[in-house]
Structure 1
Protein backbone atom coordinates (compact mmCIF):
# COMPACT_ATOMS: atom_id res chain seq x y z
CA UNK A 1 0.00 0.00 0.00
CA UNK A 2 1.47 3.35 -1.00
CA UNK A 3 1.33 6.41 1.17
CA UNK A 4 -0.08 9.73 0.02
CA UNK A 5 2.28 12.69 0.47
CA UNK A 6 0.98 15.21 3.02
CA UNK A 7 1.78 18.33 0.97
CA UNK A 8 3.08 19.64 -2.31
CA UNK A 9 3.83 22.98 -3.87
CA UNK A 10 1.70 23.74 -6.92
CA UNK A 11 3.36 26.09 -9.42
CA UNK A 12 1.43 27.94 -12.11
CA UNK A 13 3.84 28.55 -14.98
CA UNK A 14 3.17 30.27 -18.32
CA UNK A 15 3.26 27.73 -21.15
CA UNK A 16 5.24 30.09 -23.36
CA UNK A 17 8.23 29.98 -21.03
CA UNK A 18 10.47 27.66 -23.04
CA UNK A 19 13.95 28.94 -22.31
CA UNK A 20 14.29 30.03 -18.71
CA UNK A 21 17.95 30.97 -19.22
CA UNK A 22 19.00 28.68 -16.39
CA UNK A 23 16.33 29.91 -13.97
CA UNK A 24 14.53 27.38 -11.82
CA UNK A 25 10.91 26.54 -12.60
CA UNK A 26 9.98 28.18 -9.29
CA UNK A 27 11.43 31.46 -10.58
CA UNK A 28 9.21 31.29 -13.67
CA UNK A 29 5.98 30.66 -11.77
CA UNK A 30 3.39 33.42 -11.72
CA UNK A 31 1.81 31.88 -8.61
CA UNK A 32 2.66 29.14 -6.17
CA UNK A 33 0.91 27.61 -3.21
CA UNK A 34 1.59 24.97 -0.60
CA UNK A 35 -1.33 22.55 -0.72
CA UNK A 36 -2.10 19.90 1.88
CA UNK A 37 -3.80 16.54 1.52
CA UNK A 38 -7.47 16.85 2.47
CA UNK A 39 -7.92 13.17 3.30
CA UNK A 40 -10.29 12.72 0.37
CA UNK A 41 -10.14 11.89 -3.31
CA UNK A 42 -11.40 14.35 -5.89
CA UNK A 43 -13.77 13.70 -8.79
CA UNK A 44 -10.77 12.51 -10.82
CA UNK A 45 -10.20 9.70 -8.32
CA UNK A 46 -6.84 11.07 -7.21
CA UNK A 47 -6.01 12.49 -3.77
CA UNK A 48 -7.25 16.06 -3.30
CA UNK A 49 -4.97 18.81 -2.01
CA UNK A 50 -5.99 22.33 -1.03
CA UNK A 51 -4.43 25.54 0.20
CA UNK A 52 -4.02 29.24 -0.54
CA UNK A 53 -6.88 29.36 -3.05
CA UNK A 54 -5.81 26.28 -5.00
CA UNK A 55 -7.61 22.92 -4.99
CA UNK A 56 -5.87 20.17 -6.95
CA UNK A 57 -6.24 16.46 -7.56
CA UNK A 58 -2.70 15.10 -7.83
CA UNK A 59 -1.52 11.69 -8.97
CA UNK A 60 1.01 10.96 -6.20
CA UNK A 61 2.93 8.46 -8.35
CA UNK A 62 3.61 10.68 -11.37
CA UNK A 63 3.21 14.06 -9.58
CA UNK A 64 0.75 15.10 -12.30
CA UNK A 65 -2.07 17.58 -11.64
CA UNK A 66 -5.22 15.81 -12.84
CA UNK A 67 -7.77 18.49 -11.85
CA UNK A 68 -7.33 22.06 -10.65
CA UNK A 69 -9.28 25.07 -9.43
CA UNK A 70 -7.63 28.42 -8.76
CA UNK A 71 -9.71 30.74 -6.60
CA UNK A 72 -12.76 28.64 -7.53
CA UNK A 73 -12.21 28.79 -11.31
CA UNK A 74 -10.54 26.62 -13.90
CA UNK A 75 -6.98 27.42 -14.87
CA UNK A 76 -6.58 30.23 -17.41
CA UNK A 77 -5.40 29.29 -20.90
CA UNK A 78 -1.68 29.65 -21.29
CA UNK A 79 -0.84 28.44 -17.79
CA UNK A 80 0.43 25.02 -16.77
CA UNK A 81 0.20 23.56 -13.28
CA UNK A 82 3.32 21.76 -12.08
CA UNK A 83 4.00 19.92 -8.83
CA UNK A 84 7.11 20.54 -6.79
CA UNK A 85 8.18 18.79 -3.63
CA UNK A 86 7.46 20.68 -0.43
CA UNK A 87 10.62 21.51 1.47
CA UNK A 88 10.18 22.90 4.97
CA UNK A 89 12.44 25.72 5.79
Structure 2
Protein backbone atom coordinates (compact mmCIF):
# COMPACT_ATOMS: atom_id res chain seq x y z
CA UNK A 1 0.00 0.00 0.00
CA UNK A 2 1.39 3.40 -0.93
CA UNK A 3 1.32 6.43 1.34
CA UNK A 4 -0.80 9.41 0.37
CA UNK A 5 -0.97 12.91 1.85
CA UNK A 6 -3.84 13.64 4.22
CA UNK A 7 -7.02 13.45 2.22
CA UNK A 8 -9.39 16.40 2.04
CA UNK A 9 -12.88 15.53 3.31
CA UNK A 10 -14.53 16.39 -0.03
CA UNK A 11 -14.07 17.56 -3.61
CA UNK A 12 -16.40 18.90 -6.29
CA UNK A 13 -16.15 16.80 -9.45
CA UNK A 14 -17.26 18.29 -12.76
CA UNK A 15 -17.99 16.18 -15.84
CA UNK A 16 -17.24 18.24 -18.95
CA UNK A 17 -17.07 17.59 -22.71
CA UNK A 18 -13.48 16.75 -23.71
CA UNK A 19 -13.11 19.78 -26.03
CA UNK A 20 -13.60 22.02 -22.99
CA UNK A 21 -10.87 20.26 -21.00
CA UNK A 22 -8.30 23.04 -21.49
CA UNK A 23 -10.72 25.80 -20.52
CA UNK A 24 -10.00 28.09 -17.56
CA UNK A 25 -10.76 25.92 -14.48
CA UNK A 26 -12.75 28.75 -12.96
CA UNK A 27 -15.19 28.60 -15.89
CA UNK A 28 -15.58 24.82 -16.25
CA UNK A 29 -18.85 24.91 -14.29
CA UNK A 30 -20.39 26.83 -17.21
CA UNK A 31 -19.95 23.84 -19.54
CA UNK A 32 -20.27 20.96 -17.06
CA UNK A 33 -22.90 18.36 -17.94
CA UNK A 34 -22.89 17.08 -14.36
CA UNK A 35 -21.39 18.07 -11.03
CA UNK A 36 -21.31 16.40 -7.64
CA UNK A 37 -19.65 16.87 -4.29
CA UNK A 38 -17.89 13.65 -3.36
CA UNK A 39 -16.80 12.85 0.18
CA UNK A 40 -13.98 10.64 1.42
CA UNK A 41 -15.09 7.07 2.14
CA UNK A 42 -11.97 6.11 4.09
CA UNK A 43 -11.20 3.36 1.56
CA UNK A 44 -8.67 3.07 -1.24
CA UNK A 45 -10.03 2.49 -4.72
CA UNK A 46 -8.76 -0.03 -7.29
CA UNK A 47 -6.32 2.62 -8.54
CA UNK A 48 -4.66 2.76 -5.11
CA UNK A 49 -5.86 6.32 -4.47
CA UNK A 50 -8.40 7.39 -1.84
CA UNK A 51 -12.03 6.74 -2.78
CA UNK A 52 -14.65 9.50 -2.71
CA UNK A 53 -18.38 9.07 -3.32
CA UNK A 54 -21.52 11.18 -3.62
CA UNK A 55 -24.19 12.31 -6.03
CA UNK A 56 -23.98 9.10 -8.06
CA UNK A 57 -20.22 9.40 -8.57
CA UNK A 58 -17.47 7.17 -7.17
CA UNK A 59 -14.03 8.62 -7.77
CA UNK A 60 -10.48 7.67 -6.90
CA UNK A 61 -8.75 11.03 -6.47
CA UNK A 62 -5.05 11.73 -6.00
CA UNK A 63 -5.11 14.25 -3.13
CA UNK A 64 -1.63 15.55 -4.03
CA UNK A 65 -2.54 16.84 -7.51
CA UNK A 66 -5.85 16.59 -7.20
CA UNK A 67 -6.61 14.48 -10.27
CA UNK A 68 -9.38 11.98 -10.88
CA UNK A 69 -7.61 8.64 -11.37
CA UNK A 70 -10.75 6.46 -11.73
CA UNK A 71 -14.44 7.29 -11.96
CA UNK A 72 -17.83 5.59 -12.06
CA UNK A 73 -20.96 7.58 -12.92
CA UNK A 74 -24.11 5.85 -11.70
CA UNK A 75 -22.10 2.61 -11.60
CA UNK A 76 -20.86 2.93 -15.20
CA UNK A 77 -17.64 4.13 -16.80
CA UNK A 78 -17.57 7.70 -18.06
CA UNK A 79 -19.02 8.08 -21.56
CA UNK A 80 -16.58 8.61 -24.42
CA UNK A 81 -15.95 12.30 -25.05
CA UNK A 82 -16.37 13.36 -21.44
CA UNK A 83 -13.66 14.07 -18.86
CA UNK A 84 -13.73 14.60 -15.11
CA UNK A 85 -12.13 17.57 -13.40
CA UNK A 86 -11.84 18.49 -9.73
CA UNK A 87 -12.67 21.98 -8.57
TM-score class normalised by the smaller sequence: 0.7 to 0.9
Larger radius of gyration: 1
Residue in 2 that maps onto 1:2:
5
1:19 and 1:41 map into 2 onto residues whose CA distance is 28
Residue in 2 that maps onto 1:87:
none
Question: What TM-score comes out, normalization by structure 2 length?
Answer: 0.87
1:51 and 1:70 map into 2 onto residues whose CA distance is 10
Mapped pair 1:55 → 2:71:
no
In structure 1, list runs of 5 or more residues that go unmatched: 85-89
Contact 2:16 2:33 in 1 (8 A): yes
* Higher percent of residues as helix: 2
Mapped pair 1:32 → 2:44:
no
1:40 and 1:18 map into 2 onto residues whose CA distance is 28
How much is the aligned-residue C-alpha RMSD, in angstroms? Answer: 2.0
Mapped pair 1:76 → 2:84:
no
Greater displacement, 23-32 / 8-17: 23-32
Question: What TM-score comes out, normalization by structure 1 length?
Answer: 0.85
| Structure 1 residues 19 and 60, CA gap change in structure 2 (3 angstroms) | closer
